[in-house]
Amino acid sequence: MAAFPKLPAFDPADPLGIDDLLEPEDLAVRDTVRGWAADRVLPHIADWYEKGELPGIGELARELGAIGALGMSLEGYGCAGASAVQYGLACLELEAADSGIRSLVSVQGSLAMYAVHRFGSEEQKQAWLPRMAAGEVIGCFGLTEPDHGSDPAGMRTHAKRDAGGDWVLNGRKMWITNGSVAGVAVVWAQTEEGVRGFVVPAGSAGFSAPEIKHKWSLRASVTSELVLDDVRLPADAVLPEVTGLRGPLSCLSHARYGIVWGSMGAARSSFEAALEYAKSREQFGRAIGGFQLTQAKLADMAVELHKGILLAHHLGRRMDAGRLRPEQVSFGKLNNVREAIEICRTARTILGANGISLEYPVMRHATNLESVLTYEGTVEMHQLVLGKALTGLDAFR
């Protein structure tokens, strides 16, 4: 009689055995980023969050540059040239620490650097990318405006050429991550030719980036307004390789891909906190993890968490193969952020009153995810993207 094969032990941290999909280099990237976050973020994050600040952001950026996390999946110019899966794993580990740290990295690498790398001139790439990859210069990405969020086509920020060929930019951008600490802003503006991207050094006359305060989400992240009052830029400040919303939308697609992974990091951290708590907290004379209702919550959380990670892997492999469609990124962002926030909310219930304390990460992740649910395309926008792809009917307007 054939012997039963010996099965690997069940691993509560990886119940589906998803790690089997990873190569040793992938695991090395994950361990490096996880180790960095454990040393540099986790001991301080509750304090930063409570104070609503991200102190030493310049130093954090340089350290992130040193571990290759900035512009991680880009090639050349000092970037790590990592695979999409490796970039995703890094996003997951960073967001397991805090969505604010992952946002810093996403905006730097997937929005600001990606825009210059994909659409910039060789001179623009040489001028900015190596310093951004090293974390010496922080970048931001200005698309959203006070009156135009989900519908950027209506943006009012505009750039006009003057007689000498210079560009003159006027307008306002809103809710811009990294704005006040950025050395360079990629700003999207209407021109006579359509929407164009501009590389705006932060020191430009007429440019300022006041910080937005009083946020109850992403408190350990810098969010700003960008003010452009007659900002005069040379003719070569425009990103030459793209015209139209295709430019910013393709950057957003890259950043959203990171969120598909990152959101599962916030969910994992909350799940782990709830699991530990359920095993040690006693009520009615026994651990609350021994009650069927708690186990149902834990089982459902684990199912959604690891389904989400599996989905992220699948999309990562498609991206590495050059086969990832924007609708598939919408699928992943819609599902994973929505499920991540549900996992955090369920974890909060398992922790009872302690669930609302900053001593545990759960409420911090849940409130962070309220922003993640909205930025890079709201839930509704991704439903409309998928709805259009499924039906062939455009329901945006």
Using CB under 6 A as the binding rule, whether residue 99 contacts ligand FAD is answered as no
Alpha-carbon span 355 to 344, nearest angstrom: 10
- Stretch near ligand FAD under the rule CB under 6 A, chosen from 39-47, 140-148, 303-311, 316-324: 140-148
Interface positions, 171-210, toward ligand FAD (CB under 6 A): 175-177
- Residue partners of 222: CB distance under 8 A and separation at least 6: 54, 57, 177, 178, 179, 180, 181, 211
Using CB under 6 A as the binding rule, whether residue 222 contacts ligand FAD is answered as no
Using CB under 6 A as the binding rule, whether residue 280 contacts ligand FAD is answered as no
Alpha-carbon span 182 to 173, nearest angstrom: 14
Using CB under 6 A as the binding rule, whether residue 334 contacts ligand FAD is answered as no
Give me the catalytic one of 93, 225, 304, 376: 376
Alpha-carbon span 136 to 132, nearest angstrom: 6
- Stretch near ligand FAD under the rule CB under 6 A, chosen from 198-206, 331-339, 343-351, 376-384: 376-384
Candidates 157, 223, 263, 294; binder of ligand FAD (CB under 6 A) is: 223
Using CB under 6 A as the binding rule, whether residue 247 contacts ligand FAD is answered as no
- Residue partners of 60: CB distance under 8 A and separation at least 6: 40, 54, 101, 104, 135
Q: Is 376 considered catalytic here?
A: yes
Using CB under 6 A as the binding rule, whether residue 378 contacts ligand FAD is answered as yes
Alpha-carbon span 26 to 86, nearest angstrom: 6
CA quadruple 367, 372, 377, 379: dihedral sign: negative
Query: Cβ-count burial of 227 within 10 angstroms (0-12 exposed, 13-18 middle, 19+ buried)?
Result: middle
CA torsion, points 207, 66, 98, 203, in degrees to nearest 10? -10
Residues in binding contact with ligand FAD, number by CB under 6 A: 19
Alpha-carbon span 315 to 328, nearest angstrom: 7
Using CB under 6 A as the binding rule, whether residue 106 contacts ligand FAD is answered as no
Alpha-carbon span 272 to 83, nearest angstrom: 27
Using CB under 6 A as the binding rule, whether residue 100 contacts ligand FAD is answered as no
Using CB under 6 A as the binding rule, whether residue 107 contacts ligand FAD is answered as yes
Q: In angstroms, what is the minimal distance from the CB of 2 to ligand FAD?
A: 56
Using CB under 6 A as the binding rule, whether residue 257 contacts ligand FAD is answered as no
Using CB under 6 A as the binding rule, whether residue 83 contacts ligand FAD is answered as no
- Stretch near ligand FAD under the rule CB under 6 A, chosen from 42-50, 114-122, 195-203, 378-386: 378-386
Alpha-carbon span 241 to 115, nearest angstrom: 10
Using CB under 6 A as the binding rule, whether residue 141 contacts ligand FAD is answered as yes
- Stretch near ligand FAD under the rule CB under 6 A, chosen from 37-45, 129-137, 144-152, 354-362: 144-152
Longest dimension (CA), the chain: 88
Using CB under 6 A as the binding rule, whether residue 329 contacts ligand FAD is answered as no
Q: In angstroms, what is the minimal distance from the CB of 46 to ligand FAD?
A: 19
Helix count and strand count (H, E) for the chain: 12, 9
Q: Which residues bind ligand FAD (CB under 6 A)?
A: 107, 141-144, 149-150, 175-177, 218, 223, 371, 374-375, 378, 380-381, 396
